[in-house]
Amino acid sequence: MSNTLLCLGAGYCARALARHPCLARGWRILGTTRSADSAAALEAQGITPLIWSGTGPLPALDQASHLLISAAPGPAGDPVLAALGDQIAQRAAQLHWVGYLSTTGVYGDHQGGWVDEDTPLAPATERGRARVGAEAQWAAIPGLPLHIFRLAGIYGPGRGPFEKVRTGTARRIVKPGQVFSRAHVEDIAQVLAASLLHPRPGAVYNVCDDDPAPPEEVIAEAARLLDLPLPPAEDFETAAMTPMARSFYAESKKVSNNRIKRELGVRLRYPTYREGLAALLDQDGDA
């Protein structure tokens, strides 16, 4: 079977992986989407689009040698497992690699302390608990060559703070001791590509940069790069925030990325948010 990567949910990270040089030759990349407009955009990026409603069988699974699952679980659980779990289980032996994109939210709150892949899972949010459940369900499929990638906060082209800083809508929410880990989408892509080339079924990888940092420092760096005034600081306790936005501050931890370096030989292109933001500004003047 030729190398055929099927992306179940051809979203931001899947599209970045499709652009990675190691997939430029000898790989066929398929990606599911729900709309014709998205299908045209995928095709322009070298991904063969498959319009799929998210329910019912997917014949393209028969063509796949590698599988990337990026759909998030919802109130009813993992949507891919619900629609395709049996079909995937029946084809587990033909798959060389399966990647599941999870989140570092599975670790919960560690009050700014360090976590690694061996840290017990103790999610503090409903989103985190749903991810723990989904990870366990995928891992329970017999013979599936599963690799779990726990992603930190994702940023990259089109997902950065510059526009909000320019328009004056950026906020520096300050909660003492709060730190987040982050990952540039191109570094996520290179981790996935390295795992594709060197599979280790059962592996779990944290994907993040080297510098967990308070969120207000990232906003301050964006303002500095744009040579614009520093947005005023707002105290977390009194800041007006949506329940969803406030929930992100329920967890504070520093995520170790030693395993992706040790096992996959990854050298991050953007080891901190400083290099990442500067590169975004250089690439297209925005983020």
Provide the residue type at 82 as one letter. A
SS3 per residue for 37-99? HHHHHHHHCCCEEEECCCCCCCHHHHHCCEEEECCCCECCECHHHHHHHHHHHHCHHHCCEEE
Give tens-digit pLDDT for 278-287.
999 998 655 4
**How far does Cα 106 stand from its chain's mean position?**
13
Average pLDDT value over all residues in the chain: 94
Q: In the chain, what are the domain boundaries?
A: 3-155+183-209+255-270
Provide the residue type at 215 as one letter. P
Give tens-digit pLDDT for 156-202.
999 989 999 999 999 999 999 999 999 999 999 999 999 999 999 99
Give tens-digit pLDDT for 51-73.
998 888 899 999 999 999 999 99
Give tens-digit pLDDT for 66-101.
999 999 998 888 999 999 999 999 999 999 999 999
DSSP string, 188-220: HHHHHHHHHHS--TT-EEEE--S--B-HHHHHH
Determine the Cα–Cα distance for residues 121 and 118; give it in Å rounded to an integer. Answer: 9
115 beta partners = 255
CA distances from 62 to 88, 101, 201, 214 (A): 9, 22, 20, 45
What average pLDDT does the segment 220-239 reach?
95
Selection from 233, 197, 194 nearest residue 216 by Cα: 233
- Which of 3.30.450.20, 3.40.50.720, 3.90.180.10, 3.40.50.10470 is the CATH number of 3-155+183-209+255-270? 3.40.50.720
